[in-house]
Amino acid sequence: MKKIIQTSFLFVLLLTWCQGMTQSSASNPNYTYKKGNPNGIGKWYLGREIAHVMGYQGMQWLDRPEREEEENTTTLLLNMAIEPEDKIADIGAGSGYHVFKMAKLARHGLIYAVDIQDEMLQEINNRKDRDQIKNVRVIKGGEKNINIPENSLNKVLMVDVYHEFNYPAEMLVSIKKALKADGELFLIEYRGEDGSVPIKPIHKMTEAQAIREMQEAGMKLHRNIENLPWQHCMVFIKD
């Protein structure tokens, strides 16, 4: 009798899991599930396997001294042409590496630092309080929503994080809603076309794949500013 109960319980669990997978696929047929890269989550979007999120344990890597030389973050910020009154969201802000640089440029505006990991948000809050920075707002994001009001952002920045979104389609819907009509989305990803970039392939993206996914969300490529050492700097606007 005990074995029957255990078997029935396992069957119910399996059935529930399968139904959940089916419902997820039904809600967006562009999501598929299969085994793939060990650094991936086994979920694919429009033919691209989604990578595991980098945990807060990698915070020191985000703040590494050589990052400026490797990524030329100064040039990235120049590419963004940040105005003093801009409202900008850094999605996947991590430890705030770009947040506080942008806060100096948008001195009369507002920088939203959005992340899903409490440890990352706490690090940003600590620095914000320590340096008494008034134009940074810390936001706990979700897997499907950036939790920022509609039509409120001049610019959105995503640096090497989009490829880790568990629900990229839903996140792009949320981002698009938050952007103003003339808002710009800056998608920064390691160049998937370039084998010399010393990053695992699953943590890279090609321009073609990025365009495909953005078009699905009603965004179009405005320009790709190819002046960063390792990364694409793709600027998308509402189509």
Predicted confidence at residue 15, as pLDDT, reads 39
pTM listed for this prediction: 0.88
The model's pLDDT over 199-237, given as tens digits with 9 standing for 90+, comes to 999 999 999 999 999 999 999 999 999 999 999 999 999
**If you average pLDDT over residues 78-106, what whole number do you get?**
98
Q: Are residues 200 and 127 in the same domain?
A: yes
126-150 pLDDT tens trace: 999 999 999 999 999 999 999 999 9
Number of domains in the chain: 2
Q: How far apart are CA 93 and CA 113, in angstroms?
A: 5
Distance (Å, whole) CA 64 – CA 71: 11
Domain extent, residue 27, equals 2-33
Per-residue pLDDT reduced to its tens digit, 15-47: 333 444 444 444 799 999 999 999 999 999 999
Q: Is residue 109's pLDDT more than 90?
A: yes
Beta carbons within 8 Å of 135's beta carbon, 6+ residues apart: 103, 106, 107, 108, 109, 110, 111
Taking CB atoms within 8 Å and a gap of at least 24, the contacts of 220-223 are 222/184
> Is residue 38 assigned to a domain?
no
- pLDDT exceeds cutoff 50 at 75: yes
Do residues 98 and 69 share a domain? yes
Residue 192 phi, psi dihedral angles, 5° rounding? -70, -20
Q: Are residues 25 and 67 in the same domain?
A: no
Domain contains 185: yes
Would 178 be classed as within a structural domain? Answer: yes
Verify that 15 and 61 share a domain, yes or no. no
Q: Is residue 77 part of a domain?
A: yes
Q: Are residues 121 and 227 in the same domain?
A: yes
